Structure 1
Amino acid sequence: MTAFIRQEALEKAREIQLKADEEFAIEKSKLVRQETAAIDTLYEKKFKQAAMSQQITRSTLANKTRLRVLSARQTLLDELFQRAREQITGVAAGDAKKYDAVLRGLVLEGLYALNEDKIAVRARKKDYEAVRAAIVEAATEFKDHVGREVVVEIDESEPLPEDSAGGVSILGSQGKIEINNTFEERLRLLEIDALPAVRETLFGKNVNRKFYD
């Protein structure tokens, strides 16, 4: 009887052990799957964060590079136009005959643009003699082409600044309309009009689309 009871107890113990081992294996597998899924989720999250951080870094570097390129190009353009300003300053003093021809052309341009009977011209005081000669020639050419005389006088009440590079300002309609034909204004307009062509010449055909859109 004792042996039978011992045997039954051992078998019962083995059943309990087997069931416990089975439940342990199931629970272990469940925990492993949960932890694996958690690790995968964490890895995916960190991967996305790393990818986004890398994209932000690339974008930031690209923007910084773009800004440096734009700044360098603008500096070069500024230096180019500054040299042009320095050169036009010496035009009036460098070649009197050339400057006289330029003055005549600037005055004549104003006469054609305004197309009035009486015109006033502003100039630097030191240019008055040259401007008077330019006025005579321009008025004569205007009459030859248009068939009408025009009275052109120097407006001495408000001369151009002496530190101006040169040129003239032409006034019509009793001073209500002004055509600024000073060297500084012509260069400013040239900077605006010629800037795309200058950029293309210096930096290539695609620079405007690539960097300035």
Structure 2
Amino acid sequence: MSQPHSMTDDQVATELRKMTAFIRQEALEKAREIHLKADEEFSIEKSKLVRTETSRIDADYAKRHTQAGMSQQIAKSTLANKVRLRVLGAKQEMLNDLFEQAGKKLKEGKQAKEEGVLKGLVLEGLYALNEKKVVVRCRKQDVEVVGKAVEAARGEYKEKMGGREVEVVIDEKERLPEDSAGGVSILNGTGKIDINNTFDERLKLLETDALPSVRTTLFGENKNRKFKD
């Protein structure tokens, strides 16, 4: 039998260098593999982070944009309401002044002295009450002209009602206030029904009934609306 061949020192050194080179190569490849894996995971995590942050920024921007839009709308609405209220206030102030001036004109004017106007007011009361006897109240200073208006109203009432007579008495005890605008108040025989045909009352009715027409004339409102006389 032959004896095992023993390696020389040079051969051992060569084998060691080969083994060392192999181990180093394995280590380098492993390190490269680890590095590539780390780079890949880093890229994935970075992409996730970028997407998350981008989504957060977009959501935050959308929220701020919505809030800014709502704030702008609220500001516009608030401003529009303030302007509208100011306009309405100015219009109402103008209307109040208009009717206030009309009231003053009624007290200062000749309406209470116009027999034709008073006759119409008395006649309206006669038709409304349709009784044999009525009482008319007026201002003390209007008694004379109201008396003439009453006689004219009685005559027309009799004519229109087929000869029916009506007794009209001017109240000597109770008068309309002297500082009022005038006109008449017509009561039935028992005094329980009172038709207020004073100029002050007519002006109040005018403020309600004619207000739409006045608004149309002054401000151009409700142009397409039809009003009854």
TM-score norm. by structure 1 comes to: 0.88
Question: Which string of whole-angstrom CA distances, capped at 9 and with x for unpartnered residues, describes residues 19-76 of structure 1?
Answer: 1111111111111111111111111111221121112122112211211111111111
The answer on whether the counterparts of 2:112 and 2:142 sit within 8 Å (CA) in structure 1 is no
Write the mapping of 1:200-211 to structure 2, written as runs, cut at 5 A.
Answer: 200-206=216-222
Give the RMSD, CA atoms, in angstroms.
Answer: 2.0
Residue type at the aligned position of 1:195? L
Out of 29, 41, 46, which is 2:47 matched to?
A: 29
- Tell me whether 199-208 or 36-45 shows the greater mean CA deviation: 199-208
Q: Give the fraction of aligned pairs with identical amino acids, expressed as a percent.
A: 66
The answer on 1:59 being equivalent to 2:54 is: no
Q: For residue 138 of structure 1, what is the aligned residue in structure 2? A: 153
Query: Which structure: larger Rg?
Result: 2
Question: Which string of whole-angstrom CA distances, capped at 9 and with x for unpartnered residues, describes residues 85-124 of structure 1?
Answer: 11111124x884xx23322222122112212110001111
The answer on 1:70 being equivalent to 2:85 is: no
Q: For residue 127 of structure 1, what is the aligned residue in structure 2? A: 142
Out of 87, 97, 107, which is 2:122 matched to?
A: 107
Out of 180, 200, 213, which is 1:164 matched to?
A: 180
Q: d(CA) in 2 for partners of 1:89 and 1:144? A: 33
Gaps of 5+ in 2: 1-18
Task: Point out the structure with the larger helix share.
Answer: 1
Gaps of 5+ in 1: none
TM-score norm. by structure 2 comes to: 0.82
Q: d(CA) in 2 for partners of 1:4 and 1:135? A: 139
Determine helix, strand or coil for the equivalent of 2:27. helix
Q: d(CA) in 2 for partners of 1:29 and 1:201? A: 71
- Tell me whether 164-173 or 150-159 shows the greater mean CA deviation: 150-159
Residue type at the aligned position of 1:169? S
The answer on 1:39 being equivalent to 2:57 is: yes
- Tell me whether 132-141 or 114-123 shows the greater mean CA deviation: 132-141
